[in-house]
Amino acid sequence: MKIIAGNWKMNGTREMLKNMIEALRGVKTKNRVILCVPYPLLDAESGTAFIGAQDVSRHDHGAFTGEVSANMIAATGAKYVIVGHSECRAYHSDTNDIVRAKATAAIAAGLTPIICVGETMDEKQAGKTMAIIESGVRESIPSDARDVIVAYEPRWAIGAGITPTADEISAAHTLIANTLTDMGLDGTPVLYGASVKGSNAAEIMSIANVDGVLVGGASLKPDDFIPIITSIE
């Protein structure tokens, strides 16, 4: 079984989500399908998929205009939440410490956090890829965490139509898996996320230690998303 998580980012309508959920009802798969949608869509009937959010506040409540707490997300029936996505790290200045606090809040509310880590192009060119990945894993995951998912996002490849080589993906995922084992989190799923599409999903998910994918734009339309879901069991 693989985990196929779609991140709709700031896209989508109730009608689009309804159509996606209806299309997914007819898909025969053992894979776990998650749709991480904008906050206003979190209360949608999920059908055969699970619903998740794309970010969460590290605060429980209070004067934090524009933020949404983990308990608020959980109250909608959502089961998952992305934390530390590359865009949140880039645009909202989410550090590893902030990501860990968000993951802690999510877990306390009964949500499963999808914790994202990965290197920028500058970090890659400086030869810091492995150090950034390992520190991201060690510093972003709460010390007492158990039910979490990790997603490796080579930030330089997201939205660029660029996919790292199989060897690069394998090296990153092997490092993450070994680091998780060292942290007592052996068996934690590790997803790959950057420019995933139907034409490369099966190849990516056949790489050792890749337990699924985090899909961006290709998760918005059934004709694009379903081939990813059914590309591998």
Residue 156 pLDDT > 90: no
Q: Which residues contact 62 (CB under 8 A, 6 or more apart)?
A: none
* pLDDT tier at 162, thresholds 50, 70, 90: confident
Give the model confidence (pLDDT) of 33-71 as tens digits: 999 999 999 999 888 999 999 999 999 999 999 999 999
What 3 state SS string does the chain have? CCEEEEECCCCCCHHHHHHHHHHHHCCCCCCEEEEECCHHHCCCCCCCCEEEECCCCCCCCCCCCCCCCHHHHHHCCCCEEEECCHHHHHHCCCCHHHHHHHHHHHHHCCCEEEEEECCCHHHHHCCCHHHHHHHHHHHHCCCCCCCCEEEECCCCCCCCCCCCCHHHHHHHHHHHHHHHHHCCCCCCCEEECCCCCCCCHHHHHCCCCCCEEEECHHHCCHHHHHHHHCCCC
* pLDDT tier at 146, thresholds 50, 70, 90: confident
| φ/ψ of residue 74, rounded to 5 | -60, -35
**For residues 113 and 147, is the Cβ–Cβ distance under 8 A?**
no
Q: Could you give the CA distance from residue 186 to residue 2 in angstroms, rounded to a whole number? A: 16
Bridge partners of residue 82, in order along the sequence: 114
Residue 116: its pLDDT value, please? 98
* pLDDT tier at 157, thresholds 50, 70, 90: confident
Domain ranges of the chain: 3-229
- Span 132-142, average pLDDT: 98
Residue 161: its pLDDT value, please? 73
Residue 231 pLDDT > 80: yes
Give the model confidence (pLDDT) of 211-223 as tens digits: 999 999 999 999 9
Residue 79 pLDDT > 80: yes
Give catalytic status of residue 153 as yes or no: yes
Give catalytic status of residue 85 as yes or no: yes
| φ/ψ of residue 189, rounded to 5 | -65, 140
Query: Measured between alpha carbons, how far is residue 15 from residues 56, 66, 217, 220 in Å?
Result: 24, 25, 17, 12
* Catalytic site residue from 15, 45, 61, 85: 85
* Catalytic site residue from 87, 119, 153, 173: 153
**Domain 3-229 class?**
alpha beta
Residue 80 pLDDT > 90: yes
Residue 184 pLDDT > 80: yes
pTM: 0.96
Structure token digits, residue 232: 């591998």
